[in-house]
Each structure stands twice: as structure tokens, then as C-alpha cells.
A and B are shown apart, each in its own frame.
Chain A
Amino acid sequence: MIKVDWSIIFQIINFIILVLLLVRFLFKPVVQALENRTQHIEEQISAAEAQKKAAEELRIKLEEEEKKIQEKYLEMVEQANKDAAKLKENIINEAYQEAEKIKKEYEKRAQKEIEKLFSQLREEIVEIVEIAVVKVLNSQITPEIQTQLIDQLLGEAVSQIEAQMELSYEK
């Protein structure tokens, strides 16, 4: 006959009860707490990664914006340089044209003035010659010369009149 040691059985039972109690009141809450903590950390990690990803996207976006702004700036500087060069060229051209215009105007005026002076000079010379001729004629016309003049000039004039009359008759 096997002799049962009840104290060991009670100890085993107590141990089992203890284990059950531990599982029920200590292990489950601890595991639950650990799971909650793990989940919280995972969520924080996910949030951090999301933030990191967003930050990276933002950085890329900002870099692109910066690049665009830089390109736009360079383009504007280039356009400004082109505009300035064009403006400079226009100003020089306008100044040159204005100078040419003024030069031509002065040349034209000078030419007119010269022509006017030459015209006056010619008229004066002709007047002087005319006065001289009149003086000579006044002193040189004798009745004999006058006779020759009348004969020659009147003869020519009458011949012209006759020719005109003949033409009129023919018509």
C-alpha cells in the first residue's frame, strides 16, 4: 500500500492555485500592458516614419521649389540683361538718328543759305552788268547805229510776224 503524502499534494494544489492566480491576476495584465506598450511604440514609430516621410517629401518639394526659383531668377536676370542691352541699343540708335537728323537739317540749311547767297550774288552781278551795258549803250548809240538797229530788229520782227500770219492762213 502506497502511503500518500498529503502535504505534497496540498503543496502541488497550492502551487497550481498559485499559478492559476498568477496567470489570472498578474501575467495577463502584464502581457496586456506589454502588448499595449508595444502597440503604442509601434504607433509612435509609424507616426515618426510618416513624419519623416512627410519631412522628406517636404524637403524634396522645397528643393524643387528652390531650383525653380533659382531658374526663374537666372531667367529674369538674363531677360533683364537682354532688355538692358536692347534699351541701350535703342537709346544709342535714337541718339544716332537724332544726331543724323540734326546734321542733315544743318546741312540743308547751310545749302539753302549758300544757294540764297549765290542767287543774290548772281542777281547782283546781272544787275551790275545791266547797269554797265545801259551806260555803254547810252553813250554809244548814234543815229547811224540806231538806223542799223531799226532796220535789223524791225526786219526780223516783221519776218516773224509774216511767218506767224502764214501759219495762221495754212490752218
Chain B
Amino acid sequence: MKNEIVRVITPLPLTEEQKEIIKKHLSRLSPQEGFILQEEIDSSILGGVIIIWEEMLIDCSLKTQLQKIKEKIVKEVT
């Protein structure tokens, strides 16, 4: 099994449970591969996680979610 290095950005250090959850979801995309998580802390993302896997960016941060909601509100009221 090949191990893929994945950058994982979170506002708080990852717990073991969180690491397992991340690996579980990533394995749905590539079941035959294992994952080595390269952790990075960035409190500005507020919550959630940003995953950078090769060319793929999976942005599940609360900062981005909040930004989307903000854009939606501004768009709807204008």
C-alpha cells in the first residue's frame, strides 16, 4: 500500500479520533492508498479543516463557510 502525504490545516491540534475520521473520508476517494497526515495549525480558519492532497484542495474550514454565507447575504440583499 502506497502512503500519500496529505497536508491538513486545522485551528487546533488534531486528536487521534479526528485523524482517523480524516483518513476514513480520504480512503473513500482512494481506497488502495494509505495517508500520512502532515499537520499545520492555523487559528484563522476558525474551525473545520483544509486538506491539500497533491493538486487537490478540500476546503472545509469555517472561515470559508462563513465567507460563502457572507457573499450570499450580500448578493441577496443587493
Contacts and interface: CB of A to CB of B under 8 A. Distances in A.
A134 B64 CA distance: 12
A74 interface: no
A145 B78 contact: no
A167 interface: no
Interface of B: 10-12, 15, 17-18, 21-22, 25-26, 28-29, 43, 46-49, 51, 56, 58-60, 62, 65-66, 70, 73-74, 77-78
23 contacts: A123-B74, A130-B70, A137-B62, A137-B66, A141-B12, A143-B12, A147-B17, A147-B21, A149-B48, A149-B60, A150-B10, A150-B18, A150-B21, A150-B22, A150-B49, A151-B25, A153-B48, A154-B21, A154-B48, A154-B49, A154-B58, A157-B59, A158-B26
B21 A126 contact: no
Contacts of B59: 157
Given A134-B66, A150-B18, A141 B25 contact: no
A137 B46 contact: yes
A141 B46 CA distance: 8
A-B pairs, 5 with minimum CB distance: A153-B60, A158-B25, A149-B48, A141-B47, A137-B46
Interface of A: 119, 122-123, 126, 130, 133-134, 137-138, 141, 143, 145-147, 149-151, 153-158, 161-162, 165
A102 B59 CA distance: 53
B11 A141 contact: yes
A130 B72 CA distance: 13
A126 B65 CA distance: 14
Contact of B60 (A130, A141, A154): A154
A134 to B, nearest CB: 6
Given A134-B46, A143-B15, A161-B29, A149 B78 contact: no
Contacts of A141: 11-12, 46-47, 62
Nearest to B77: A122
B78 A119 contact: yes
Contacts of B65: 153
A149 B26 CA distance: 15
Contacts of A143: 12, 15, 18
A161 B21 CA distance: 17
